[in-house]
Amino acid sequence: MRLRVLGTAAGGGVPQWNCACPGCRGARAHPERRRLHASLAVEAAPGRAYIVNATPDLGEQVESCPWLLPGPGPRDTPLAGVLLTDAELDHTLGVPRLREADELEIWSTPAVREAVAERLGLDALLAPYVGLTWRGLPSGDDFEPLGGPGGPECTVEVSSIPLSDKRPRYAAGPGSPEGDWVVALWLRDRATGGSLLYAPAMGVWPPALDEAAYASDCVIVDGTFWDDEEPLRSGFSKRTATQMGHLPVTETAARLTALPGRALYTHLNNTSPLVDPDSPERAELAALGLAVAEEGMVIEL
């Protein structure tokens, strides 16, 4: 199983278009600090790939990954679909960018499907352009292969770990369905035995996540905020990190250091000190044997 980190930023990216915080100013002055919205590319089989979350940066992200590029025919593409961890706008607004496809798979929970298909209206919007096939994410120890009927043989399987019922703002309120709104994705390769746990947004750490993390060779988790007070301290929010649905790094670092596999942070907010590679917080992570996922990083499991 081959994966490529396509983006590592929280909603808005780094820099955010309307922000002049230190992180955004630093990214404008030092282009190497720029970060696209958090996403992964997953090569399920030769010539068949998926992306985890379809971000507003999808076009640029596809172009950055050699094995997502089209060919040899003028409209041949290895990109078969999207795996959604939630229904947030920064993880779903890229779906309409894929309207030129003939067919497209979208894997999600039922609650996320209702939000994206009905509340965002993407089913009706995209129907004249592309044939959408919705597939339900299995859960826990149940895995399903990513390869479709008639496609290349695929040994990569996916499952999910339910995390919370946190809804995006557009899907909150009366009529919003109950269910799993935020999940971690658990990917494994039957052929190699390698596995990855990906949880770019999480406000809790349930026992099932702990079990999956210990069983995984690589874990990439929510690094949105350094500590719980960061959103308040930045002056852009009246809620703490956990109130916004994100466990801060200071509360998850000890868990990650105890894991047997590799551990990385993603989904960094523009206010996070981790966007500065020279920050004391980066050095603190390094001393713990932890790191921030970097865009373009390839992980083979």
Q: Is residue 258 classed as helix, strand or coil in its secondary structure?
A: coil
Residue 255 has pLDDT above 60, yes or no: yes
Write down the pLDDT at residue 177: 86
Q: What is the reported pLDDT for 174? A: 82
Cα(266)–Cα(277) distance, rounded to whole angstroms?
14
Contact indicator for 139, 182 with CB cutoff of 8 Å:
no
Task: Classify residue 162: in a domain, yes or no.
Answer: yes
Q: How far apart are CA 63 and CA 41, in angstroms?
A: 12
pTM above 0.85, yes or no: yes
Mean pLDDT of the region 161-166? 95
In a domain, 267, yes or no: yes
pLDDT of residue 148: 62
**Residue-wise pLDDT tens digits, 107-158:** 999 999 999 999 999 999 999 999 999 999 999 999 999 976 555 678 999 9
- Mean pLDDT score, 219-244: 96
pLDDT for 150 equals 56
> What HEC string does 77-138 produce?
CCEEEEECCCCCHHHHCCHHHHCCCCEEEEEECHHHHHHHHHHCCHHHHHCCCCEEEEEECC
Instruction: Please report whether residue 301 resides in a domain.
Output: no
Whose CA is closest to 235, among 15, 90, 29, 22?
22
Nearest by Cα to 97 from 126, 131, 120: 126
pLDDT at 77 over 70: yes
Judge whether 237 lies within some domain.
yes
What are the tens digits of pLDDT across the range 189-209? 999 999 999 999 999 999 999
Nearest to 222 by CA among 261, 255, 194, 193: 255
Which structural domain, as residue segments, surrounds residue 242? 2-11+20-295
Q: What angle do CA 29, 30, 35 make, to 5 degrees?
A: 115
* CATH assignment of the domain containing 170: 3.60.15.10
Contacts of residue 188, defined as CB under 8 A and 6 or more positions apart, other chains included, come to 1, 143, 156, 157, 159, 194, 195, 196
Structural domain includes residue 202: yes
Tell me, yes or no, whether 300 lies in a domain. no
- What length is written for the chain? 301
Residue in this structure with the two tokens 């966007």, named with its chain if needed: 275
Please indicate, yes or no, if residue 193 is contained in any of the structural domains: yes
Please tell me the total count of domains within the chain. Answer: 1
